[in-house]
Chain A
């Protein structure tokens, strides 16, 4: 660490650069205080209404701050980086947090609404720091802040044993993987004398892949592989997705994926890209490529094949998330600006579809409705809740990658980025990815078929769904369609943020 680094620190500049994060943290306190101090006697519905309003206002305020007063630059040893690209990702995170708050509306799994919304907002604060740092110290601390919040969110349904079980598994695996990540970081620090990603990259430039560096790489990949639920670090995902209260599941499946993938790509491409592979000198492929290839291939195969046999919708979504993590690793493997652009587009559109799918499940258990977990229970949903069913159709088709929805263009950009350029990933991996997307179509359509073709149980009345949730789901579905029909809206924005032609 540069103890004698920069002589003077402008605290004002730090304050200005972290203003959006501070705004979100302040909103979390506000939501907590208002709920605990003034609404103790109020009905659950009123409390959700006020809390959600505060949370959404905070997210909107932070987005406004990001756009009206952009503070580009870097602060101290890569500790805080603000550029147009981090702004894109931070905006996506804030929008997803607001969606999560809106989808939680009317949920019945907890009466601690202030705490619940505060944890979501604190997790968002952590993620905003996570994506804006190129320094391992802050990356690790904000990653822990995020993980801790997610464990709490997963355990929030205290009347359910499944919730406790899923959260405990998530917590134990998470603690273990954090230890691996820390071990990897400390080895990198020992090898390079720095925790700044840029410095690390400079120090390992041109160095052969020594066993020590290989160990550091594998440990680091283990740590992040857990966060993105890639095989073989995915074991927590099905239980956590199934057990967690549905809005928490939406948050775990969407927002945290966006932040984790962005920071994973950042660490691999900014910090460790220069570590030479065992290949010849002119082969500039990074040393970690074989590890990522193995993890990606395993994730695609296992995630998609395991999803076929699931009977629980949530577990199906969990295994399909593992499969999607495999595709997304292709974007890192491409080692190019195009790959990063495709990865960010893919992960944002994937997050929208995933939060939407969980949102529909959340709506089915909110208020007086009985929750749905098994696929057969969804039979005939289209007759009981036509709007929700149509939204679910859009989300599932987008996840499967059907044109003209966003999921198709995500896959298109990702696979073409993986094939283009001199650092292209192996061809067989892309072929495997395409084959696996075809398989994924089967299990997504199985759910859709139940919803549209299945016969509902005899006495199944139409469902009462809160208007807020329906409206939110429609907005998300609209986003998925619009970003699919006009992918250039988002791709162009990301590209211009990265100064791509």
Chain B
């Protein structure tokens, strides 16, 4: 049952990601991204990270995608145009990526025994456990992340502001 769910959403996720790359119109790409994000949320849920799943849906599929679509609408972005350079990148990039993918798949399949196992199932992570990880064990990375976000905001404002 869990395996079936996993396979279904994993395939959906990969298909969404491929569709995102292949679509010519930005709005279609954005919509495919929602599919990817939401399927990822289901995968998190299967691994017992329900908080992460909820955040994934609310923040990524919700808030960030709304922003994306707004920006696309406001910029009135049209279809992607193909130039000679992009075609060359296409011709070289796809075989290159395929070779890399084949290599990685081969290595992953051959080294299955070395990797730690993850189990799918109905886990519930108590909020208490989550908070003790976030605010005790990982307190320092949590705080440094706040500086990271601050610098992103500062940079966005400084760079996007109109010069007088």
Contact = CB atoms under 8 A, between A and B. Distances in A.
Given A148-B152, A158-B163, A212-B108, A126 B144 contact: yes
A156 B157 CA distance: 11
Contacts of B150: 122
A141 B150 CA distance: 13
Contacts of A155: 159
A115 B148 contact: no
B140 A79 contact: yes
Contact of A14 (B107, B133, B140): B140
Given A25-B147, A145-B151, A79 B115 contact: no
Contacts of B157: 115
Interface string A1-33: 111011001010010001000000100000010
B116 A193 contact: yes
B110 interface: yes
A265 B150 CA distance: 29
Nearest to B130: A3
Given A25-B147, A156-B158, A210-B111, A141 B141 contact: yes
Query: Which of B114, B151, B159 has its CB near the most chain A CB atoms (within 10 A)?
Result: B151
A1 B164 CA distance: 50
A144 interface: yes
Interface string B121-164: 00000000100110011111100110110111011011101011
Nearest to B142: A141
Interface residues of B, number: 33
A118 interface: yes
Nearest to B156: A152
Interface in A123-160: 123, 125-126, 129, 137-138, 141-142, 144-145, 148-149, 151-152, 155-156, 158-159
B140 A152 contact: no
Contacts of B148: 126, 141, 144-145, 148
Contacts of B18: none
A191 B115 contact: yes
A129 B108 CA distance: 33
Given A79-B141, A115-B158, A158-B163, A212 B114 contact: yes
A212 B129 CA distance: 32
Secondary structure of the A contact surface, majority rule: helix
Interface in A414-466: none
A18 B144 CA distance: 11
A80 interface: yes
A76 B116 contact: no
B137 A76 contact: yes
B144 A3 contact: no
Nearest to B150: A122
Contacts of A149: 151, 155
B129 A3 contact: yes
B128 to A, nearest CB: 12
26 contacts: A1-B137, A1-B138, A2-B137, A5-B137, A9-B139, A11-B139, A80-B140, A111-B163, A112-B158, A115-B158, A116-B158, A122-B150, A125-B147, A126-B148, A138-B140, A138-B144, A141-B144, A141-B148, A144-B148, A155-B159, A193-B116, A210-B111, A211-B106, A211-B110, A211-B111, A215-B104
Given A112-B158, A141-B141, 18 more contacts: A1-B137, A9-B139, A76-B137, A122-B154, A126-B144, A126-B147, A129-B140, A138-B140, A141-B144, A145-B148, A148-B148, A148-B151, A159-B163, A211-B107, A211-B110, A212-B114, A215-B104, A215-B107
Interface of A: 1-3, 5-6, 9, 11, 14, 18, 25, 32, 75-77, 79-80, 111-112, 115-116, 118-119, 122-123, 125-126, 129, 137-138, 141-142, 144-145, 148-149, 151-152, 155-156, 158-159, 190-191, 193, 210-212, 215
